[in-house]
Structure formats: C-alpha cells, structure tokens
C-alpha cells in the first residue's frame, strides 16, 4: 500500500473514533506525498577527491536526442531555486555552451556534456542530482544542477557577473550570457521561440550550403562529360572506315546520353537551390526582428557593426577565431563553422564574382570599398546570387556562407587586400571586433569593458572632461 493511502486510512479511522465519542477533539491529518531522500551537495564546499562516482565513459562523446523544452525549463527553475541562481542565467549558459544539448562536445578544449564542464572542474563540482549514484555531465539534470552549484560557489548568488565570469573568463562571454538571460526573463516561451528561430536559420543555411555543394559537383561532371561528348563526335567525323564510324557513333551516342543526364541533374539541383534560397530568405526575415533582443543577435549570427565596418563572419567570439599571421603572405584566415554567414565588411561595389570554384580561392568575390581598396573573399561554400559584378552592397549585406572550396584545409573565410600589401587583422577596424566578432587564436583576447575609465590628474584648471572627486580617509 502506498504511503499516502496509509495516511488516509489512519485519518479516516481517527475521525470515526472521534465521531463516536461525545465531546472528543476532532483531529485533522494532512496527506504528505513521498519525497526523495537525496540531499543536494553544498555550494560552499567542493567534492572531496573520489567523493562522487563518475561514469566510466565520462570523457567520450555521447549522442543526445535532446529534451522537450518543458523538461529543460523545469530543470533550470528547480536547479536555480536550489542554489539561488536565476533560471534565466542557467538557460542562457545552456544555450551558449551546448545549444540546449545539440553540441555537447568534447570541445576543442576538452569541455564535455550539457553545460560544457572541464573534467577537472566536474570532479570538484559535479552533482548527482538524479540520485542514481553517478554524477554524469552528459545527463541534463546532473549537469544543470552542477552548473547552478558552481555559479553559486563562485559568488553568483550575490554577483551574477562574477559567477558567470568564473564559468568562462571572458567579458564578451559574460555579456552574451547576461544579455540573453535578460531576454529570457520575459518568460520561458521567449527562450523557446528564439531557439526555434535560430534552428530555422541554421537549417536553412545548411540546406543552401549542402545543395550548392552538390550543384558544384554536378556542374563539374556536366562540363567534363560535355568535353568527352565533343571529343567523341570529332572522332566520328575523322573516321574513314564505315565499321570504325559505326563503333565511334555508338561511343558518341553513349557520351551524349551521359552528358544529357548530367545536364538534367544540374537543372534539378538549380531548382532545389532556388527553393532552398527562398526558404533561407524567409528564415532570415523571421530572425531579423528577433535579432534586436539583447543577446539574440549572436544566436542568429547577425552582423556586428563598429562604425562604418562590419565583421565579415557572423557567429560571434564564441565560434569565430583568427590568428595574427597568415602562413605565407599578408591575409587573414578566419575560422568559423561551415555554413556560418558572411557579410560585406563595408559599403562597396563588387568588382568580380565567381559562383563556381576557381583555382585556389574556390568560390569568392572581390569588393571595392569607398576608400578605393579591394577586398577578396575566398573558400565560400555558397555565394549569394545578388553578388554580381557592379552590384552595390551595403555594410552588413549577406554575401554567402563559410566553406572550404578551393585550396582549403577546413571551413574558414580567407580575406585579403588586393594587392596583398598588409594584414587585414593589423587594421584598427578589424582589431576593434576582438572579443565581439572573434577571438584571437594565438594570443589572449583583450577584455572589453563598458565601465568608465578614470585617470588621476595633477592639480590644474578643470577641463570640461574632468570629473573631480573628494577623498575621505
């Protein structure tokens, strides 16, 4: 018999006895449901060495089908309440770190699981929230409770900036998380809505990139078969003997058949690409209004502006990186996930554009900006149809998607001046995006601060931009 049933039976028995006794006091019983006996560990004291059982496969990648949004929302709320951390902050970290469990690593740095803990940090703060005997970073409940515990241990109950900064020592990271948390503060349905928008944009971009990749391969095959068919037809005209002509006629017919089949495939893929482009345009329009919400712009990889310039690769400092040098001449190789959006870095006119791979550059174009300089983009997986010679592009106009066409060892944007006389990453406008649009691969990324900076000045006539203070001992 369930415990609540025993309580109920006892209550009824007592009430019956009381009713049969004149003047006896009536007693009221409250039905108490069964509760878990598992106590959550303190945020003040980390795990002692060997105090928690870890899954044997903790360091190895595990696939996840994700969780319903209602389940995640409940976990954020419960874990936040348990450790005094706003649920919105846990939701934002969950989104930024693993995209709600879609990208759980291990990351290039070795971070793992739903909330991307480093193994050494997990050993100190990992929590068995499910009560199954294991503290498992690949389990959403364990990971989210552990994140709440870690943030509380780092002072997040009183100072959210301090807590989030302990999670990732970067100002841009803290800003992204807290901005996103403020947006989520309007309600968990906002988090779900923004997630759907982001997923829609990413899927549309990936569809365009994948379709264009197939189209590029099909066009190459069609052109090769066209050359073979032309050679076969020429040989027929050169044959003197009837028997030879008949054999060559057969070969030419077969070559033509293969060429026509390839041409039909190209036509079908061009139609599929057109449909994918329309779907992407719709998804981008849906994302446009959402991108104005604090923290949401990075989710949909919206362009990041700094004066008259835009960083050419979308995705933000969490996903985009670049080194100070190029391997053999002045240029920048900006690493980013395949399919990440590319933007016109400033107002300019397209000088040249090639939508099919050409030489080492692959798919790309050259943009001449208002200062008279020309910038070449290379290795795109897809170039927007609007990027044509003579087209005027506004700063931040979508121009294509990151790829690895041409001579490339992985997805990135290769960008250089024409002629390549100086490094793009040495320019002030480029460096101004450090910590916002990208992180440095080969040096610490400077911490960006929005706080006022004050300098102590000697006694002198007070200028308009000088603020005076009185010091008290």
The model's pTM is 0.76
Q: What are phi and psi of 268, to 5 degrees?
A: -65, -40
Which of 54-58, 241-245, 362-366 has the weakest average pLDDT?
241-245
pLDDT band at 461; cut points 50, 70, 90: low
Looking at residue 69, its pLDDT comes to 92
CA–CA gap between residue 418 and residue 38 (Å, rounded): 65
Q: Is 33 exposed, middle or buried (0-12, 13-18, 19+ CB in 10 A)?
A: exposed
Mean pLDDT, the chain, whole residue set: 86
**What average pLDDT does this structure show over 290-300?**
80
H helix intervals, 291-390: 296-299
Q: Give 410's DSSP letter.
A: S
pLDDT per residue as tens digits for the range 340-350: 999 999 999 99
**What average pLDDT does this structure show over 210-219?**
96
pLDDT per residue as tens digits for the range 366-395: 999 999 999 999 999 999 999 999 999 999
Whether the CB-CB separation of 156 and 85 falls below 8 Å is answered with: yes
pLDDT band at 55; cut points 50, 70, 90: very high
CA–CA gap between residue 11 and residue 5 (Å, rounded): 10
Q: Is 161 exposed, middle or buried (0-12, 13-18, 19+ CB in 10 A)?
A: middle
Looking at residue 109, its pLDDT comes to 83
pLDDT per residue as tens digits for the range 251-267: 999 999 999 999 999 99
Assign residue 444 a region: left if phi > 0, alpha if psi is -120 to 50, beta otherwise? beta
CA–CA gap between residue 277 and residue 274 (Å, rounded): 5
For the chain, what percent of residues have pLDDT higher than 70? 86
- From residue 120, alpha-carbon distances to 51, 54, 143 in Å are 14, 12, 14
Looking at residue 24, its pLDDT comes to 44
More confident residue, 61 or 240: 61
Q: Is the pLDDT of residue 35 over 70?
A: no
Looking at residue 396, its pLDDT comes to 96
Which of 3-12, 180-189, 272-281 has the weakest average pLDDT?
3-12
pLDDT per residue as tens digits for the range 169-213: 988 899 989 999 999 988 878 899 999 999 999 999 999 999 999
Question: Which DSSP string corresponds to 89-128?
Answer: HHHHHHHHHHTTTT-----TT--BTTTTB-HHHHHHH---
Looking at residue 304, its pLDDT comes to 93
More confident residue, 59 or 245: 59
CA–CA gap between residue 237 and residue 233 (Å, rounded): 7
């Amino acid at each position: 018999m369930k415990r609540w049933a025993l309580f109920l039976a006892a209550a009824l028995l007592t009430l019956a006895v009381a009713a049969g006794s004149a003047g006896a006091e009536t007693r009221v019983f409250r039905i108490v449901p069964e509760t878990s006996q598992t106590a959550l560990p303190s945020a003040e004291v980390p795990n002692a060495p060997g105090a928690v059982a870890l899954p044997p496969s903790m360091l190895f990648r595990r696939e996840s089908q994700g969780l319903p949004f209602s389940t995640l929302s409940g976990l954020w709320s419960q874990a936040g309440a348990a450790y005094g951390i706003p649920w919105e902050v846990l939701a934002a970290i969950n989104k930024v770190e693993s995209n709600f469990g879609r990208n759980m690593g291990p990351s290039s740095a070795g971070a793992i699981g739903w909330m991307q803990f480093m193994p050494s940090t997990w050993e100190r703060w990992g929590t068995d929230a499910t009560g199954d005997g294991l503290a498992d970073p690949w389990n959403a409940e364990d990971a989210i409770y552990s994140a709440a515990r870690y943030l509380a241990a780092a002072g997040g109950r009183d100072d959210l900036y301090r807590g989030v900064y302990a999670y990732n020592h970067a100002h841009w990271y803290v800003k992204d998380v807290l901005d996103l948390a403020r947006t989520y503060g309007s309600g968990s349905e906002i988090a779900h809505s923004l997630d759907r928008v982001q997923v829609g944009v990413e899927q549309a971009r990936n569809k365009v990139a994948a379709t264009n990749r197939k189209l590029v391969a099909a066009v190459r095959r069609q052109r090769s078969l066209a050359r073979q068919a032309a050679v076969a037809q020429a040989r027929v005209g050169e044959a003197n003997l009837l028997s030879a002509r008949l054999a060559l006629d057969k070969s030419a017919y077969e070559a033509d058949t293969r060429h026509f089949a390839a041409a039909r495939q190209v036509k079908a893929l061009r139609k599929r690409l057109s449909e994918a482009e329309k779907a992407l345009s719709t998804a981008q329009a849906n994302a446009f209004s959402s991108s104005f919400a604090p923290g949401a712009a990075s989710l949909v990889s919206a362009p990041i502006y700094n004066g008259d310039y835009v960083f050419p690769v979308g995705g933000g400092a969490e996903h985009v990186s670049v080194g100070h040098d190029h391997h053999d001449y002045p240029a920048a190789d900006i690493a980013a996930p395949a399919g990440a959006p590319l933007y016109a870095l400033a107002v300019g006119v397209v000088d040249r554009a090639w939508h099919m791979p050409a030489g080492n550059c692959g798919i790309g174009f050259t943009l001449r900006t208002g200062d008279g300089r020309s910038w070449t983009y290379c290795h795109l997986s897809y170039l927007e149809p609007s990027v044509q010679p003579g087209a005027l592009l506004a700063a931040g106009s979508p121009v294509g998607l990151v790829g690895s066409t041409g001579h490339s060892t992985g997805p990135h944007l290769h960008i250089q001046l024409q002629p390549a006389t100086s490094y793009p990453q040495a320019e002030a406008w480029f460096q101004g995006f450090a910590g916002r649009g990208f992180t440095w691969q080969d040096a610490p990324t400077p911490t960006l601060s929005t706080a006022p900076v004050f300098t102590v000045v000697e006694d002198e006539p007070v200028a308009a931009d000088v603020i005076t203070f009185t010091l008290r001992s």
